[in-house]
Every structure is written in structure tokens, then in C-alpha cells.
Chains A and B, each alone.
Chain A
């Protein structure tokens, strides 16, 4: 692909120079609703950020013990695993795919790590690395089924979900590795440190770092651009010369790696190696992505949105609990948030097209 700088020759229209201007941008007067929609298309983080800020304000007033730095740190700790899975899920959803196996993949990698270190006695750092290798291999399997066998991601990952989960139970016998048997390196990300009077964990730092790194990569590399293009219109991307299959495969492999790191994060959070902790995180990761403003139809969204989405769910969960409402209402609220987010996305898509 040539990357020559095109210096376009100046307009040499022989006769009367065409000086009329075609304005790209707002030429019509926008009503207030349309103005908001336009803003949201341009700066897609506005929606989730507004919801988050409002929720924090409301709960700080309504619930005792909510509005403290310590509680905010706790909320981030509570959603960090789902948020990290969300990074992987966002990448895949941006390509107009979906991954139903993220949580099962995470559990399999986690259990494998435990097996290597505890049952097989391999050096702990090696077990960690091998766990990541397992995760990447699983991601590659997903990618292979989607690209080479041309099976739609929903179906492909529905299948691998069962495969990964079954392997997980087979390796672990359904049992957790208890606290005392877990090597310290595995739980290292759960280590806390004090800052401004509140406790934070290394895991939180890693989570935020991952978000920043991937947000940057998506916006500043050709790989990122190609992900959006593939998600928006596969055929058009192909005609533009983008290696579609390579892009898709790379997305699933990178997702595998991210999920592998998430397993490490999970061990730090729960202190043991469990084959079942977090099996429901799969749908939760999709919720975080959707609430964060990424479109399920691909081609549009921001990684930071997923962090906001996860935090929104965490804030509501913590806030409703502290206000004293029953857990049923937390699930109810999350359902409303999801539907609201998708409705807004649908609306924006209509505006766009």
C-alpha cells in the first residue's frame, strides 16, 4: 500500500472559478433535541458521563456512607473485573461481533493457572504466564471459528462458552483452591495501599491503565481505525483494502490476552481460585459495554465508555444497597439502564443514517 503524500494540484477550472462553497457541517438550524443528538454523536462519552455524575450526586445525598473516597474505591474494586472483561468485549462488539464466552474463558485461564502452580508444582511466575497462554489460545480458537469457519460470533462463542466451562469444571472438579493454598503472586493484584485516607489496590491501577492504553490504541493506530471500519461495514472495509480476517483474528486474540490478565485480577479479588466465581460476569460485561454507549451493531463506541458503564452499574448497586432497597431493585435498575442505553443508540443511528 503506497503511503505517498498526495499533493493535490490547485483547482484549475478554466472558465469561471467555482467559488461556491459546499459546507460540510451544520447548515440547518438544529432544534434542541437535535443539538443534543449531534453532540452525542460527536462526543459519545457525554451520555454515560452525565448519568454517572447524576447518579453519584443523587446517591451521595440520599444514602449515608455513600459519598466517601473509600466507598468510591470500593465501587471501582467491585466492578474492575467486569470492566476489564468489558475491554475485551468492547473490542469484539466494535467489530459487530459479540463474545458470550468471556467469563468462561476467564475461569478456565484462572483454573489452569491454579492447576499449574498448586497441583503440578510449577514455578508461580511460569504458571501465571502459562495461564495467559491458555487464555490467548482460547481467544485464538474463537477467532478461528469466526474467521476461518465463517460462523457468526454469537453462535461461535455460544459454543465455546460451553466448551470452556466444561473444561474448567473438568480440570478443577468443581472445587475452589482454598485461600491458604493460593500462592501470593496470584493474589498480588489484590494488595492494597493507602492514599488520601482510602485503600486502593494494585488491581485498580492495572485496570485503569489498561483502559487508558486501549483507548489510546483504538484512537491512534491504524489497527484501531480498521476495527471501526470492519464493524461498520465489512464489505466496504474489504474493498478499501483492509485485511478483514486478519483484523478480526487479532481482535479475538488480544481479547484472550486481556481476559487472561483479568483472571489474575479476579484471583486477587476473591483470594482463591474458583471455577464458578464470576460465571455471571459474561452478561454483565455486555451490559457495561452497552450502557457505556457502544453500539451492539458495531462501528461506534469508545473504550472509556465501558469503564463509565461499569462504574454506573457499580454506583447503582452500591447506592441502592446503602439506601436500603432490596437487591431485586438493583437488577431492575440495571435492566432499565441497558434498555435506555440501547434506545438512545438506536435513536442516534437513525439520526446518523
Chain B
């Protein structure tokens, strides 16, 4: 990816502040993500990563600051609100409902009803259509269902379930897809598959926010890294231009961005 100035910011946040009682989780934090990129978000515990993601996903509302989508300022009252604006989030380990089948999971919360009387009065689900579209969403990501698509999701392995959750996000996420530690509970093989899925989504032009602790994974698939520290964005670096060890040092505060010749994002905000 070239480093010229012509990058459209799909989503941006400025000066986010979030307090929980006396604890200041976000202290004038900034955020930006460009079109078509995979942005990793890293930070030590207590850096405000989860608070940041929750604000971006609509799960919580910042006390101060603004959020912009496509240049337009928005207020996200709930995850549903965010979803309506095209932001899809896969929260960590709360991805799918195991007792329901794949199609029901993909359409959870936005089920399709049958047309006409059956749909509006009897409120019957159009299961055939949901199954067809779920199948389509997943095959577009390269996930083929060889088995019965009506089997309950709990028969799938962890990685496969994440596949369903990510397919759901990709199918509906028109603007941004947020993935919170998607491979945290998975083994090596399955993590690799999920990483391939993430690249697939990015290849289709949808930017992905990836929260992760897995440095090798980040350097493998992410374009840039947002480093969160002490409630604000410390720096935003390009994975091609910085080393893994430097990233970790920045994260824990062992070295400042200035010392690495990077722009100190936190400092410029004051």
C-alpha cells in the first residue's frame, strides 16, 4: 500500500472520552481506518482497547468526542444502530447461538419473513430464502458447506463457528467489520483458516478492525497497527515499516514514538 495522502477514511473518531466511575478508560482517544485496509488494534491490558471497540461498535456511548463514518458525524446508540450504518462486530466468544442452525445464526436479529400474509400476520420465517442466502454468503468467502446446513451450530468446531460469525459480519457489513480476538480460542490450523477469511473480506474492499494479541498474526495479515496506550492512541504504524519488537516496546511504554522517529499521535492531541 502506498503512503500518499489520498486515503479515504471510512471511519474516524476524535477525542473519545469514556469514564467508568473514577476510572478513565478513554482519555481523548483518536481512531481512523482507511478503505480496504486491515487495521490491527493492540494495547496492553488497561489501555482502553475494549472501551474503544465498544464505542465504535455501538455497545457503549462515549462521554465526549465524535465518531465519523464516511466523513459524516454519527451517534451510535446501540449495536443495532451501528449495524444499520454498516458496522458489523463479532464480539469475542459471543459469536453464535449453538442451539440454532447456520442460517438462523447468520440472520439472528434480522430474520427474513415470508412475503405477504404469512409474513406480516403469521410472522412466518422465510427459511428457504435465509438458507439460500446464508449459503451464498459463506461460499463467497470460500466456505463450502458439504454437510447439512440445517444442523445446529454446536456440531461445528470452534474455528468453523467463527467462520459462520465472520461470514455473518461480512455479509451484512457494508462499511466496517470489527473482529474482537477472533482466533483467541482456536488452534493453529483453524486460526490460519480464519486469517484467510479475514484477508478474503479485505480483498472485497471492506476494511477490517482486528483486535488481537497475536503479533505474528498481526504482522502476517494487517496493513497498519493502532497502538492504544493509557486511554489514547499512542501511534499508528505501518506493518511494513516497523518491527514486531518495536511495536511491543511501544505498547508497554518502553520506548516513545519519537525515539523511533514516528509521529507521537498522543502528543499532538495534547
Task: Give the one of B109, B144, B147, B172 with max A CB within 10 A.
Answer: B109
Whether B220 sits at the interface, judged by CB under 8 Å, is no
Whether B240 sits at the interface, judged by CB under 8 Å, is no
Q: B154–A23 contact, CB under 8 A? A: no
> Please, what's the 1-or-0 string for B100-119, where 1 marks a CB less than 8 Å from any CB in chain A?
10101000111111000000
Whether B125 sits at the interface, judged by CB under 8 Å, is yes
Whether A5 sits at the interface, judged by CB under 8 Å, is yes
Whether B226 sits at the interface, judged by CB under 8 Å, is no
Whether A115 sits at the interface, judged by CB under 8 Å, is no
The interface stretch among A7-15, A84-92, A131-139, A191-199 is A7-15
Q: B124–A220 contact, CB under 8 A? A: yes
In the complex, what distance in Å separates the CA atom of A62 from the CA atom of B242? 80
Instruction: Pick the contact of B99: A23, A25, A220, A300 (CB < 8 A).
Output: A300
The interface stretch among A163-171, A236-244, A265-273, A334-342 is A236-244
Whether A327 sits at the interface, judged by CB under 8 Å, is no
Whether A228 sits at the interface, judged by CB under 8 Å, is yes
**Which single residue of chain A is at the shortest CB-CB distance from B112?**
A3
Q: B144–A240 contact, CB under 8 A? A: no
- CB-defined contacts of B137 to chain A, threshold 8 Å: 6, 8
Q: B97–A220 contact, CB under 8 A? A: no
**Which single residue of chain A is at the shortest CB-CB distance from B170?**
A8
A228 with B136, Cβ < 8 A, contacts A42-B148, A241-B80 known: no
Chain B min CB distance to A351 (Å): 8
- CB-defined contacts of A20 to chain B, threshold 8 Å: 142, 196
> Please, what's the 1-or-0 string for A195-225, where 1 marks a CB less than 8 Å from any CB in chain B?
0000000000000000000000000111101
Interface size of B by Cβ–Cβ distance < 8 Å?
A: 60
Whether A50 sits at the interface, judged by CB under 8 Å, is no
Chain B min CB distance to A112 (Å): 31
In the complex, what distance in Å separates the CA atom of A26 from the CA atom of B160? 11
Q: B147–A236 contact, CB under 8 A? A: no
Chain B min CB distance to A197 (Å): 38
Whether B171 sits at the interface, judged by CB under 8 Å, is yes
Whether A178 sits at the interface, judged by CB under 8 Å, is no
- CB-defined contacts of B143 to chain A, threshold 8 Å: 21-22, 24
Q: B125–A11 contact, CB under 8 A? A: no
- CB-defined contacts of B204 to chain A, threshold 8 Å: 9, 11-12
In the complex, what distance in Å separates the CA atom of A336 from the CA atom of B186? 38
> Please, what's the 1-or-0 string for B68-105, where 1 marks a CB less than 8 Å from any CB in chain A?
00000000001110011000010100110111101010
Looking at chain A's contact residues, is the secondary structure mostly helix, strand, loop, or mixed? loop
- CB-defined contacts of A239 to chain B, threshold 8 Å: 59, 79, 89, 91, 94
Q: B123–A13 contact, CB under 8 A? A: no
Whether A331 sits at the interface, judged by CB under 8 Å, is no
- CB-defined contacts of A220 to chain B, threshold 8 Å: 124-125, 127
- CB-defined contacts of A42 to chain B, threshold 8 Å: 148, 150-152, 155
- CB-defined contacts of A14 to chain B, threshold 8 Å: 203
> Please, what's the 1-or-0 string for B202-235, where 1 marks a CB less than 8 Å from any CB in chain A?
0111000000000000000000000000000000
- CB-defined contacts of B78 to chain A, threshold 8 Å: 241
A25 with B145, Cβ < 8 A, contacts A240-B109, A242-B108 known: yes
Q: B163–A24 contact, CB under 8 A? A: yes
Q: A232–B84 contact, CB under 8 A? A: no
Chain B min CB distance to A230 (Å): 9
Whether A73 sits at the interface, judged by CB under 8 Å, is no
**Which single residue of chain B is at the shortest CB-CB distance from A15?**
B203
A23 with B146, Cβ < 8 A, contacts A1-B110, A11-B140, A225-B104 known: yes
Which residues of B46-76 have CB atoms within 8 Å of chain A's CB atoms? 59
Q: B108–A12 contact, CB under 8 A? A: no
Q: B94–A24 contact, CB under 8 A? A: no
Whether B25 sits at the interface, judged by CB under 8 Å, is no
- CB-defined contacts of B127 to chain A, threshold 8 Å: 220
- CB-defined contacts of A9 to chain B, threshold 8 Å: 140, 204-205
Q: B79–A241 contact, CB under 8 A? A: yes
In the complex, what distance in Å separates the CA atom of A207 from the CA atom of B120? 27
- CB-defined contacts of B42 to chain A, threshold 8 Å: none
Instruction: Pick the contact of B148: A25, A223, A232, A352 (CB < 8 A).
Output: A25
Whether A18 sits at the interface, judged by CB under 8 Å, is yes
In the complex, what distance in Å separates the CA atom of A259 from the CA atom of B98? 29
Whether A353 sits at the interface, judged by CB under 8 Å, is yes
Whether B44 sits at the interface, judged by CB under 8 Å, is no
**Which single residue of chain B is at the shortest CB-CB distance from A11?**
B140
Q: B102–A41 contact, CB under 8 A? A: no
Q: B79–A6 contact, CB under 8 A? A: no
- CB-defined contacts of A3 to chain B, threshold 8 Å: 110, 112-113
Chain A min CB distance to B177 (Å): 13
20 contacting pairs across A/B (C-beta < 8 A): A1-B80, A3-B113, A11-B141, A11-B142, A11-B203, A11-B204, A12-B203, A18-B196, A25-B155, A41-B151, A41-B155, A229-B108, A232-B97, A236-B95, A240-B79, A241-B78, A241-B83, A241-B110, A242-B108, A242-B109
A-B contacts besides A11-B203, A232-B100, 15 pairs, CB < 8 Å: A3-B110, A3-B113, A6-B171, A11-B140, A12-B203, A18-B142, A22-B143, A23-B144, A23-B147, A222-B111, A236-B95, A239-B94, A299-B97, A300-B99, A300-B152
